[in-house]
Chain A
Amino acid sequence: MSRNQVVFGLGLATALLAGWVAFPRALYSKRPQPLAFLHKTHAEKSGVSDCSQCHAFGDDGQYTGLPPMETCVGCHSGKIGTSTAEATLVDHYIKRGVSTPWLVYSRQPANVWFSHAVHVKRAGLACTDCHGHYGELDQSRIYEVNRISGYSRDIWGHSMTRLHRAPGDGMKMSDCEDCHRRHSVQVGCLGCHE
């Protein structure tokens, strides 16, 4: 093997290593949620069995998104544990009447219009079809934000290649299109974009 071939191979290997290992780590920065919220604990201790018990639909059918502080106050009007998160929730947010600034994993660009009511109520999709099984996690997830686009890693999905992904891993436009294609639902550009 000539010297040139070796050096060329070294360059190739450097690019592959940098691209597959270093780049994904450099691209995303990690931010902790303001509170360590445990979906599984809430489901087990408070008897919440369905996502819509907290992530509810309003009277007009519109999805209300993250539960308001009043929902938390129902149980957390006073401290019901000794954890740091409990103290932060009660002292910093509930007592001061400030909403918890959650970092939303599924936040989409502002020009995207998505109706939970249509997808969940009319089409009968399960929450996990798009959001994955986060409700079963027993630890708080780290929020990874793309340094360039500013959106969560959950939008692209955790696999850089986007191959062999689990259901609910990724919320790109192509994921919407794939699902619509599978269900033979035709929507024009303006069905989702404002």
Chain B
Amino acid sequence: MKLTRRDLLVWGAGAAAGLPFTPVPWKLLDDVSIWTQNWPWIPQPARGPVEVKQSFCTLCPQGCAMKVRMAGGWPVGVSGVNTNPLTRGALCPLGFGAHQLNWHPMRLRTVRHDGVASSWDASQTAFVKACNRGPVVIVDGHPGRAASSVFESFTEKRGACLVAEGPETGALVPYENWSDASARALGYDLENAQTIISFGAPMLDGWGVPGRFTRLWAERTNGVSDPQLRLIHIEDSCSRTAAKAWKWVSAKPGSEGALAAGLARVLIEECLVAARGPIPRTTLAQAADRTGRTIEEIRDLARTIVAKPPVLAIAKDNNPEVAALNGILGAIGARGGIVRRSKLSKACLSREGPISNPGAILIDSTVPWDFVPQTDAEIFRFTAWDGGSSRAGWLLPAPGFLEELTDVPTAATSVIESYAIAPQLAKPTHEVRSAAQFLASVDKNLPMPEQIIHRRCSNLRRSGRGSVHAQEITPVAKFESGQKLEEQLQAGAIWIGDPLRPGGWKCEVKEWPQTMATATSEGDWSASWSAPVLPPLATKLYRESKLREAPARRTV
């Protein structure tokens, strides 16, 4: 019998038909996928003795407590800390995978100047030259840290220190106009609120202290038809916060102010609240038209929100009408509302005003990537990850997650005063310097963050205020010395201040405000930057999420 080409083809077809009924394709698929995980250039967690250390997340200024599982001296896993009184074991999705960020493909490993590899010496020389050309501006994303004090010391005679603030603080700016308090001295008393009406603020998507509200919501709301904490969310699309909220109200984009005005009008007209305030000029018909809801729906919503006081309205950004609604609801300066925080939490910012022609701009690694200064000054940007900024002349590799010792002061907008230390747990795999270290190499007289942390711990011990929360709660007064207190904080404990007493803050809304765009002054480079939506991190999850949609605000 002669074999023909046709026979071969038919035989091949038979073999192909039989192959799916063997383990070959399925087993190969499994084995090849495992093989690809073990390619030599893919970082592998270290093998070695396992230990668990406690620290604090430094990816955003909120500083959630985390347990870090270390294998062979390297962080290999992160989880929440149940004993932490603020987050009680909760973390945001980014925090849970933060230990992997140090191995991110976009990790910046060398100094780069205009896209070309350079050296630390060259960057230092260039920085000194730029400093001689004009004032220096340092942009800080996490104010209040020991490193922030280094920045302030450096710029004291040489320029100014700017703070890139998050939208949570930006939403508190309207209260500055009605009182003597600055936005940074205010906070949200979430723990005591019973109803929260969120005007687009991504409450369950990483807003504020991500762990703090997530835990609060989980404990008081999850799976309960009439929860202790009602979250009413206003947003045009069904975001994750909207989907999880007790009630989601869809309103046209940009109509938050109109809805707040409509609600305020109903509250006053129907005497649903005891507080008195200015009646908005917006009529219910106008509010209904702008929001896309009916008048009756707005009336119903107003009745719903006051059914379970205290009520707190939270805007996603600087929205005076939402702030004024809090005035009508009696939430300003009251328990479960907007309260003034203690003096310790106030920002220590330079007050010189904007600098129009800086010689050098140094951007700390805590500043989001979207911060792009429109200036001719030479820009020195510290970052652990190369987020693709096109405006920075110098890109300087900064310590990544848990690669440097830093302190974690009270989170912005948190009414609970706290102080913690995030020790260095991971060894950098390449030469990195923090902005504070870089400045210290330029000016030898600058204090180092370690020294400032020592001083702060000593001051805390001397003040005798508050208590330290670890497995047990220890009053600060019981610590023998500041050093003992610091050791405890380095081991993962957190200092919590005395409970805040609301009241004593006068904030009066005399006239109903009109929503206006955030003012920017022409010629001020620092005002014309796009919204810092993302931190300088690049996980797919975080990039695709709606975290921190609202533009941040800078203060001088």
Contact = CB atoms under 8 A, between A and B. Distances in A.
Nearest to B14: A11
Contacts of A150: 34-35, 38
A19 to B, nearest CB: 2
B38 A23 contact: no
A7 B12 CA distance: 9
A24 B23 contact: yes
B41 to A, nearest CB: 14
Interface in A1-45: 3-4, 7-16, 18-20, 23-24, 27
B115 to A, nearest CB: 34
B45 A4 contact: no
Interface stretch (A66-74, A91-99, A105-113, A175-183): A105-113
A149 interface: yes
Residue in A3, A8, A18, A113 whose Cβ sees the most chain B Cβ within 10 Å = A8
B67 to A, nearest CB: 11
A91 to B, nearest CB: 29
A113 B71 CA distance: 10
Residue in A10, A11, A13 whose Cβ sees the most chain B Cβ within 10 Å = A11
Contacts of B32: 148
A88 interface: no
Interface string A144-156: 0010111100001
A7 B4 CA distance: 11
A9 B31 contact: no
Contact of B69 (A11, A15, A194): A194
A190 B75 CA distance: 13
B18 A11 contact: yes
Interface residues of A, number: 33
Nearest to B25: A19
B27 A7 contact: no
Contacts of A9: 14
B7 to A, nearest CB: 5
A110 B10 CA distance: 45
B34 A109 contact: yes
B45 to A, nearest CB: 5
A81 B12 CA distance: 58
**SS class of chain B's interface: helix, strand, loop or mixed?**
helix
A49 interface: no
Nearest to B93: A190
Contact of B24 (A23, A149, A190, A194): A23
B23 A111 contact: no
A190 B11 contact: no
Interface in A74-101: none
B69 A7 contact: no
A161 interface: yes
Contacts of A110: 44-45, 47
Given A7-B10, A110-B47, A161-B23, A15 B16 contact: yes
B463 interface: no
Interface string B33-58: 01101100000110100100000000
Nearest to A147: B31
Contacts of B10: 4, 7-8, 11
Contacts of B99: 194
B17 interface: yes
Contacts of A16: 18, 21-22
Nearest to B47: A110
A194 B77 contact: yes
A108 B253 CA distance: 50
B285 interface: no
A13 B19 CA distance: 10
A111 B37 contact: yes
A160 interface: yes
A151 B37 CA distance: 12
B50 A62 contact: yes
Given A110-B45, A111-B44, A146-B31, A8 B22 contact: no
Contacts of A7: 7, 10-11, 14
Residue in A16, A109, A149 whose Cβ sees the most chain B Cβ within 10 Å = A149
B15 interface: yes
A24 to B, nearest CB: 7
A148 B17 contact: no
Contacts of A190: 77-79, 96-97
B203 interface: no
Nearest to A110: B44
B22 A19 contact: yes
Contacts of B16: 11, 15
B470 to A, nearest CB: 18
Contacts of A19: 18-19, 21-24
B28 A148 contact: yes
A133 to B, nearest CB: 25
A18 B6 CA distance: 22
B224 interface: no
B395 interface: no
Closest 3 CB pairs of A and B: A19-B22, A11-B14, A15-B18
Interface of A: 3-4, 7-16, 18-20, 23-24, 27, 62, 109-111, 113, 146, 148-151, 156, 160-161, 190, 194
Interface of B: 6-7, 10-19, 21-24, 27-28, 30-32, 34-35, 37-38, 44-45, 47, 50, 69, 71, 76-79, 96-97, 99
6 contacts: A10-B14, A11-B12, A11-B14, A14-B11, A18-B24, A111-B44
